[in-house]
Amino acid sequence: MNDETREAVMTATHRALCTHGFADLTTQRIADEWGKSKAALHYHYDTKEELLRTFLDHLLAKFESRLACESADPRVRLDTFVDAVFAPVEADDDSREFAVALLEIKAQAPYSETYRDRLAALDERMRETVAGAVRDGIEAGHFRHADPDDVARFVVTAINGAHVREVALDESPSEARRLIEGYLDDALGRDPATEVPA
């Protein structure tokens, strides 16, 4: 499958998830969003689970590209991480629907090794990013001493909780962002970065 076709199928999967949710997602509905036949979709993906595994890999790759920050300043890297987590996932105005669909996928993780593995990889990547920035910030004298792994686990746990609150209680993610940034300031004694994120 070429990159253009793969991107079109991933976009169609995203739209179908937002429109129908995980429970009512079918390969036919994805094919309809793609504008092709169900047979054309099955030519590339044997099962819906295979397609969703690819979709989760696609989301992970996109998120990792948003986390990419070449700055040597760990404060900027930490700010970039927070921006990446709380920025809308897509340019479309369907972030609420997608957040619901993603929570439905998370709810399937106890029953699906495929989903569990992808979500665990995302969790690990997020914790590594935070812990690495915290560790470097302590070594550079920007942050006071704290256990980088504990800070990372707390932040990522809070982000996951914020996702549930956003979906279940219709709470704005901006409130969680404020609390997480306040926690980082308190735990690390952060001083402002002199470098502006690109």
Would you say 90 and 98 are in contact if contact means Cβ atoms under 8 Å apart?
A: yes
Report residue 50 as tokens: 């295979």
Residue 149: the pLDDT is: 97
The full set of domain ranges for the chain reads 70-188
Q: Which of 26-40, 82-96, 152-166 has the lowest mean pLDDT?
A: 82-96
pTM (predicted TM-score): 0.81
Question: Around Cβ 180, how many Cβ atoms within 10 Å?
Answer: 19
CA distance 11 to 5: 10
The 10s digit of each residue's pLDDT in 132-181 is: 999 999 999 999 999 999 999 999 999 999 989 988 898 888 899 999 99
Q: What value does the mean pLDDT take over residues 80-99? A: 73
Would you say 167 and 45 are in contact if contact means Cβ atoms under 8 Å apart?
A: no
The 10s digit of each residue's pLDDT in 103-124 is: 888 888 899 898 899 889 889 9
pLDDT tier for residue 27 given thresholds of 50, 70 and 90: very high
Domain 70-188 sits in CATH 1.10.357.10: yes
